[in-house]
Chain A
Amino acid sequence: MAAAEAAPDYEAAEVYTRAFRVGALGRGWRRHLGPPDLSLAGEAAADAEAAVAAELGCAAETAAELRAVCSIGVLMSSDKEEDPDVIPEDSSLLTLQIRKKALEKREETIIVDRACRQETLAYEMESHAIGKRPDNPTDQVEEGELLLTLNIFYPVIFQKHKDHKPYQTVLVLGSQKLTELRDSISCVSDLQIGGEFSSQPDQAPEHISKIQICLTRILDLLRSNCYYWDSLKKHDRASSLLAHLKDLYKSAFFYFEGIFYNDRRYPECRDLSRTVIEWSQSHDRGYGNLQSVKMEDYTFNDLSLKIGFPYLFCHQGNCEHIIIITDIRLIHHDDCLDKNLYPVLIKKHWLCTRKCFVCKMYTARWVTNEDSLAPEDPCFFCDVCFRMLHYDAEGNKLGDFLAYPYVDPGIFN
């Protein structure tokens, strides 16, 4: 019988832990806890005095007394009319005194005090999956399952994000494969369209609009079902969407604790990590033994990870995202228990979309370089303004420029 593995603990105090097997954490907790703690059923009903007496080793009368003395009503206000929005005038609590001042100051400076759309979105994202249950009981998450919270950082695009990089927060189950997380990561670089189209603007693959993003996601879902997929591939729109890079360059890898997990599900996928491994092995660079394995063979429970330590996700050859696991815990009755909804996105950074230089209204769809007609390089245009400025009524190219279809990072808002 293997010795009990040590519980995770800090390697760098308050910053990150040492590496440990994720599955071991689940085993560790399940060893300590009994069925009532692990159960995903609702809150246990108030139980009989006999059960209380047995567990605490006291008399039944004592149990009844305990229930009365320790009831939560004892701590609540007897005044039913209290309004939680109103801070009591004569409170002795320092917290409330400070809060009151802050609220008063807010009232002075803010004219209309309500949630802006970013806040509403953030709250919605945080709570939309709470408590969800699957229609099919076989899709329910099991007791004792682990829930990991990951922060996936955007590749740094803007200077202003240098110090506080924007990130998405995703919840995954321990039993899920790495490929499921990989498929759920939506990065704008997947939607980029390669190629210079100044001479033939009409031939650029269809621009991405929000509806099309939705369609892309639906396509991903349907991909798993061969019947629908075959008939869809014949459809024009679908095939033009497929021309986007996500499908052209499917390779990707995760890097955790010295091992590269490469996506090898499709024949087009390549081992992107090979270069790194060869480089590391060519001389004694002090990086130890780096390995390369298949992403689809591993679940999160199989991994060795540090909590709070940055790892890497790389796709499109050079689009890199830092990944940090911020938390691992046992699944709870209040969590989303529908397996199919995982990985769940619970937080997203709001990126302002870049607007057309001319009209300042529509999101930019084209970017030009070395443009004799534009005041700056690079310059961004929406479709209408782009054509109006750069082409005449017959569609002939005016002036010298290079034009590329542009997908704004804020497209996922």
Chain B
Amino acid sequence: MTEVPGLQADCEELLGAFREADTVRFERFAELWRERRFHTVFYGRIRALERNKLTKKTLEVAQQYFLPPYTFQIRVGALYLLYGLYNTQLCQPKQKIRVALKDWPEIHKFQQDLIDSQHYDAAYIFRTLRLARAFHFTAMPKLLNYRTKKKFQESECKEEFKDPSNRVNSLITNDVLEELMNIHDHYQKMKCVISADKSQPDKALSLIKDDFVVTLKDITLEHQEWQQKRMKLFINAKETDEITNKKEERTFLESEGSERANALARIKYRSYSAVVEASKSRRHRQVKLESSESGSCYGKSPSKKNSRRPQPARRRDEVQVARETVTRHIGMPVIMEEDNSDEEGVSLPKRKRRC
């Protein structure tokens, strides 16, 4: 058995509900667990050999949510989930939770965070698991048997669960900016010292932009804001989708004004990111929108969006199309260069060159 069908969906549903509850208290998690009677996930007439395999797989699935890049709340939820699954399993002796050496520093930091932020219930539960010898301390998270032919199931990355990837922020930290500022000031001072006029550097020595550290900081902030906005848009779009499916006519008439504004904004997004489909004769040179996302599940074929043309008449379609647009084509905001070339522009010649 390579996987337990339906298990990932159930775990994600429970963790999703926990996230909605917007808390990290174990009491709340326990309520959600009891509602779903999650302990029955091991039930069914299963013989011992298969039950061992099943339980191992179950713990493996739950364990993946316990590590980065998932958000703090999801990780706490995963900890509770592991606690529940470990203690309600039917195997005797109990199957253990595997922890790899490379992941331990992260887990240790997580535990420290819990204690420091006084999330006593989570810290207590982690401590309880440790004392109960629930962990196997391993070299690697999974057993490896040189299965090169095995197809890796594209693990559904639930975007809402994950922390927005903080690559820019982890590179340009406050320390780095401070350091840069210091070096920059020092450099300016040195230039003044060797210049004729001691109060300001010679014109000949001005080789860099004076305010580049400030600009760098602004760009980093802008990126962060954009990321958060994108996250919000994604979640809103999903909610909008649900609303659309549930309440058919009513909502449209209510907040028409703001809806229209939103829709207009989305159309604008779409127009910046839509790409003209090449004619049949040039099928092999189909233009591709290069999305600057990294490691996202947006990597589906771009040609899909080309078929969704704007239909201003039906509001629902528009919203749905907009949703697709929003979820698939949020490109980076365009940075205007001097020659004003639009990176995600529609011009075919540019694409041809790149192809």
Contact = CB atoms under 8 A, between A and B. Distances in A.
Interface of A: 7-10, 14-17, 25, 28-29, 32-33, 36-37, 43-44, 47, 52, 55-58, 62-63, 66-67, 69-70, 72, 74-77, 82, 84-88, 91-100, 103, 115, 119, 122-123, 126, 130-131, 149, 151, 307-310, 324, 326-330, 332-334
19 contacts: A15-B147, A15-B148, A16-B146, A17-B139, A17-B144, A37-B135, A43-B132, A52-B127, A72-B87, A72-B88, A75-B33, A82-B40, A94-B6, A94-B7, A96-B44, A115-B47, A119-B47, A326-B144, A329-B98
A88 B139 contact: no
Interface stretch (B113-121, B165-173, B226-234, B299-307): B113-121
A156 to B, nearest CB: 15
Contacts, number: 195
Give the 6 A-B CB pairs with smallest separation, nearest first: A308-B144, A94-B6, A7-B102, A329-B138, A95-B6, A7-B101
B139 A43 contact: no
B34 interface: yes
A87 B44 contact: yes
A59 to B, nearest CB: 10
B141 to A, nearest CB: 10
Contacts of B37: 77, 88, 91-93
B39 interface: yes
B350 to A, nearest CB: 34
Contact of A43 (B127, B131, B143): B131
Interface in B1-18: 4-7, 9-10, 13
B110 interface: no
Nearest to A77: B39
Contacts of B43: 84-88, 96
Given A43-B133, A92-B36, A75 B84 contact: yes
A327 B118 contact: no
A15 B140 CA distance: 11
B205 interface: no
A32 B101 CA distance: 9
B48 to A, nearest CB: 6
B45 interface: yes
A85 B44 CA distance: 4
B338 interface: no
A70 B101 contact: no
A88 B40 contact: yes
Contacts of A57: 115, 118
Nearest to A53: B120
Contacts of B6: 93-99
B143 A56 contact: no
Given A8-B140, A52-B127, A98-B5, A332 B40 contact: no
A10 B141 CA distance: 11
A150 B121 CA distance: 39
Nearest to B135: A37
Interface in B55-97: 83-84, 87-88, 90, 93-94, 96
Contact of A66 (B90, B120, B145): B120
B5 A37 contact: no
A44 B132 CA distance: 7
Given A74-B30, A95-B7, A324 B146 contact: yes
Given A14-B152, A99-B44, A328 B138 contact: yes
Contacts of B136: 329-330, 332
A327 B52 CA distance: 17
B26 interface: yes
Contacts of B148: 15
A95 B4 CA distance: 7
Interface of B: 4-7, 9-10, 13, 26-27, 30, 33-34, 36-45, 47-49, 52, 83-84, 87-88, 90, 93-94, 96, 98, 100-102, 104, 108, 115, 118, 120-121, 123-125, 127-128, 130-133, 135-140, 142-148, 152
Nearest to B132: A43
Contacts of B87: 72, 75
Chief secondary structure at chain A's binding surface: mixed
Contacts of B40: 77, 82, 87-88, 91, 93, 96
Contacts of A74: 30, 34
A194 to B, nearest CB: 34
Given A330-B137, A334-B94, 20 more contacts: A7-B104, A8-B100, A8-B139, A16-B146, A32-B104, A57-B118, A75-B30, A84-B90, A85-B45, A92-B36, A94-B7, A95-B41, A97-B6, A99-B5, A115-B49, A149-B143, A307-B144, A308-B140, A334-B93, A334-B133
B45 A103 contact: yes
Contacts of A103: 44-45
A70 B146 contact: no
A247 B351 CA distance: 72
B30 A307 contact: no
Contacts of A98: 5-6
B145 A69 contact: no
Nearest to B108: A32
A85 B142 CA distance: 29
A29 to B, nearest CB: 5
A151 B145 CA distance: 8
A173 to B, nearest CB: 15
Given A8-B102, A25-B101, A32-B104, A75 B139 contact: no
Given A85-B45, A123-B48, A149-B143, A37 B137 contact: yes
A67 B120 CA distance: 11
Contacts of B115: 56-57
A266 to B, nearest CB: 33
Nearest to A97: B6
A93 B130 contact: no
A55 B127 CA distance: 9
Contact of B143 (A32, A82, A119, A327): A327
Nearest to A6: B102
A96 B6 CA distance: 8
B63 to A, nearest CB: 14
A330 B138 CA distance: 6
Which of B5, B101, B115, B143 has most A Cβ within 10 Å?
B101
Contact of A15 (B27, B39, B125, B144): B144
Contacts of A94: 6-7, 9-10, 13
Nearest to A333: B133
Contacts of A72: 83-84, 87-88
B10 A76 contact: no
Contacts of B130: 36-37
A52 B124 contact: yes
A75 B47 contact: no
A329 B47 contact: no
A130 B52 CA distance: 13
A1 to B, nearest CB: 19
Contacts of A55: 127
A15 B49 contact: no
